[in-house]
Structure 1
Amino acid sequence: MELNSLRWRTPAACTLLLLTAPVWAAEDNDDDRPVTATVGGRLHLDFADFSNDGRGTPNKDDTEIRRAWLDVSGKFFVVDYKLEADVSGDRVEAKDVFVSRSFGDAGKLTVGQFKQFFSLDDRTSSNYGTFLERGNAGTTLAPLYRLGASWQAARGDMTWAASAYSLESIDAWQVKGRAAGGRATWAPGATAGEVLHLGLSLAHERYDNPGANGVPGLKIRPRPAGHLSDNSRLTLVDFSAGRDTDVNKWSLEYAQVRGPLSWQGEFSGATFDDGSQRGKVLAGYGLVSWFVTGESRVYDRKTGRFGRVKDFQHKAGAFELALRYDQMRGDQHLIGQPDLRDAQTEAWTLGGNWYMRPNLRFMLNLIESRNRDRLTATTVDRTRAVTGRLQFDF
């Protein structure tokens, strides 16, 4: 959606919540209150400028409000709660909508709609990610926001979480099915500026009749050159014939922080089976990050993910340079038959981030992407892009 096409209700809703924030905001002594509320949110303003070659449909240079999120969180007697929505589109889209209860060292129970526990890339908030967009696996394989129940715990150097969830969400009730998944991480002796992170994510999903009776099809179609590169999307697998489909997903995580330097990678995959045909998707990325001004990426041991960069060493803020290579490949075939689909997408991304304040950042990414049909051994799309974002959260 273009910046000048945002409906009137977005600024109206933002203004209303900001005006009421002083009334609702939790105070320092609210631990003794039975009901509390704190208002938060994020605003991500994006642009993209494309250089398309003659293959495929060109992408259009554009701007968008990528995210305009508002949330209210706090406690309601014996439970905690969070209500979060994205108001950037033509309709309000629900994100986190849940209640939770902590049971001390034993863990925390969460019920409602929440982001599922799958991969370091996806679990790291968009407010704190190194690049504008997550890697291909994080944007296409991760279950994202689903209705369900989970148990999450952290002890010592380890975290773990498991959930049972529906494939429906508040805004996508047409998708039917059920699933279960979980994630475990280990960060031995992690300290500020010195982190070794290892993780494993698993999920099994059972889709009911994808592609039939008004149910959306089940497709893996990454955007290789950013969120606005719809015309460069390549279908890696497509299970939309209306047959129940089993999907098994996994992701192996590795990350390390050494002062201002950090590097991170994941190897992810999924298998698809609808009884008539099978498919497989494999994805991997590797990135390296360097804070030129000397800061370090911040690691949250309780959740096994990266968080907000702060404690700047210079008045002008912090500057970060990063490079990522991201590849994803998919193949599909009728059982006992040769492949009817074998495709691959890859992208190099060079990123620069200027952290003006802990909650205010400007991001710039240079992307070189390529799509290839492996059955015909041809390159079907090559796109270069310059993308950027101004982001603020509170």
Structure 2
Amino acid sequence: MRQHSLLAGAALAAALALTAAPALAQNVGPAPAWSGAPEYKWGDFTLKFRGRVFADYVEQDVDRAVGADFSASEDRFRTARIGVQGAFGDQWTYVAEGNFINGESNWEDLYVQYSPRKHTAFTVGNFKSLSLENVTSARFTTFMERGPLNDLIDAGRVMTLAARTGGDNWSITGGVHGDSVNDGAPGGGDEQRGVFVRAHFAPIVSDDTKVHLGVWARDRDRRDDTAFRYRVRNNTNFGGRYTDAGSSPLGAGDADTAIGLEAAAVWRSVSVQGEWATIDADLTGGGSAQASGYYVFASFFPTGEQRKYKAADGKFDRVSIRRPLTRGGIGAVELAVRYDAADLTEFAGVATAGEYSAVTLGATWYPWSHIRFMANYTDSKNEAQVVASDVDVQTLQFRAQFDF
């Protein structure tokens, strides 16, 4: 389905070019400006560069109940993206961003959005749509990785047609989706299809206090695509997965239905956040199984900052630094602790389809709002259905992050 990826990307690029053409014809030279990155304007058409670089160092110790223990480490670019975003008039916006690491390139966000009025939007392209932590950009998440719940629900960027309505403190978004623009069904068959809905409500939004409540649901069928696989990582995308239902008919899904709950609260410099999700899977070998997972974390800014919550969108955004280094201050410091759990034990007959749990400690320094230095330590346990497959993993990670 590489052809599907290229055609989809080309179609969106063509749409952007056609949209921009009238404005470009009317104005010969752009008027450069600065809004966190170079921004250009031709009449009603704007174009702004965007990108991010996450440079990581990871050390991991793996202790097996049976077999050789080992340690591994790596320094790498977790992500390196470059792209553009902009608008045409008051109603049309677009984003096109690619990721370039390890000698490979993939589309990330790639979409066009039409907003006929405030809080109403229709979006088509490759983007995320489910889960509070998932729709919050990795530039703004409290921890370096989103955790095993995100792995389990498999709700990454896929080709989607979505409609949204809402108000200043609520929203409902629903739509249909296929596979990622970078993937697709092997052999040119029909790629996966799904429908989803996400709703959120912020009953309290004040200067000191924010409260978020959310719920979402998704139903999908793999069709001719690769069977769905249910597994989690050790709060890092480095190393192996040791809690895994596998790809055999006992653990792989033909179709599934997922439901998730979201909650978060911010009071001054303290915040808490948690999510829970369950997945009912129809297995490729017949029968069904259920997987579930959740996380909860708390964070605190001893320097007085507050996590920025966007009540209309139901997600978190960039932290405003009270005394950045660029103005003679010390920047911001955030301390956090997190607990994760996942349960795959209903996938009977798969030794590694057990239970996962982990505790993560995190510390982040923000010298400036577009730069972060992060450190995370995770102690995780993979308790398999067969004791011999139990694996304990300790992971220490560091990140230098810059975005624009």
TM-score (norm 2): 0.82
Structure 1 counterpart of 2:322: 312
Q: How far does the alpha carbon of each residue in 1:282-315 deviate from its partner, in whole angstroms, 9 at most, with x for none?
A: 1011101010111111101121011111132461
CA contact (8 A) 2:250 2:350 kept: no
Q: 1:109 and 2:118 equivalent? A: no
Q: Distance in 1 between matches of 2:294 and 2:265?
A: 17
Show the 5 A alignment for 1:236-251.
Answer: 236=245, 238=247, 245-251=254-260
Q: Please point out which of 118, 139, 142 is paired with 1:127.
A: 139
CA contact (8 A) 1:157 1:187 kept: yes
CA contact (8 A) 1:270 1:282 kept: yes
Q: 1:181 and 2:181 equivalent? A: no
Structure 2 counterpart of 1:328: 342
Q: 1:240 to 1:125 in 2, by over 3 A?
A: farther
- Structure 1: where are the runs of 5+ without partners? 1-21, 210-214
CA contact (8 A) 2:31 2:42 kept: no
Q: Distance in 1 between matches of 2:79 and 2:131?
A: 21
Q: 1:204 and 2:219 equivalent? A: yes
CA contact (8 A) 1:332 1:340 kept: no
Q: How far does the alpha carbon of each residue in 1:167-189 deviate from its partner, in whole angstroms, 9 at most, with x for none?
A: x2221123621001121111123
The offset of 1:156, in angstroms, is 3.2
Show the 5 A alignment for 1:95-106.
Answer: 95-105=108-118
Q: 1:268 and 2:314 equivalent? A: no
The offset of 1:121, in angstroms, is 1.2
Q: Look up the equivalent residue of 1:34 and give its one-letter code.
A: D
Aligned pairs, number: 360
Structure 1 counterpart of 2:182: 171
Q: 1:223 and 2:236 equivalent? A: no
Secondary structure (helix, strand or coil) at the match of 2:345 reads strand
CA contact (8 A) 2:242 2:391 kept: no
Structure 1 counterpart of 2:372: 361
Kindly, what percent of the aligned residue pairs are identical? 25
Q: Look up the equivalent residue of 2:215 and give its one-letter code.
A: L
The offset of 1:145, in angstroms, is 0.9
Show the 5 A alignment for 1:26-37.
Answer: 33-37=43-47
Q: How far does the alpha carbon of each residue in 1:201-248 deviate from its partner, in whole angstroms, 9 at most, with x for none?
A: 111111124xxxxx5342122111411122x43213546589971211
Structure 1 counterpart of 2:157: 145
Q: Distance in 1 between matches of 2:340 and 2:171?
A: 27
Q: 1:153 to 1:312 in 2, by over 3 A?
A: same
Q: Look up the equivalent residue of 1:352 and give its one-letter code.
A: A
Secondary structure (helix, strand or coil) at the match of 2:150 reads helix
In angstroms, what is the RMSD of aligned CA positions? 2.6
Structure 2 counterpart of 1:39: 49
Q: Please point out which of 385, 391, 394 is paired with 2:401.
A: 391
Q: Distance in 1 between matches of 2:208 and 2:315?
A: 14
TM-score (norm 1): 0.84
Q: Distance in 2 between matches of 1:151 and 1:30?
A: 29
CA contact (8 A) 1:237 1:331 kept: no
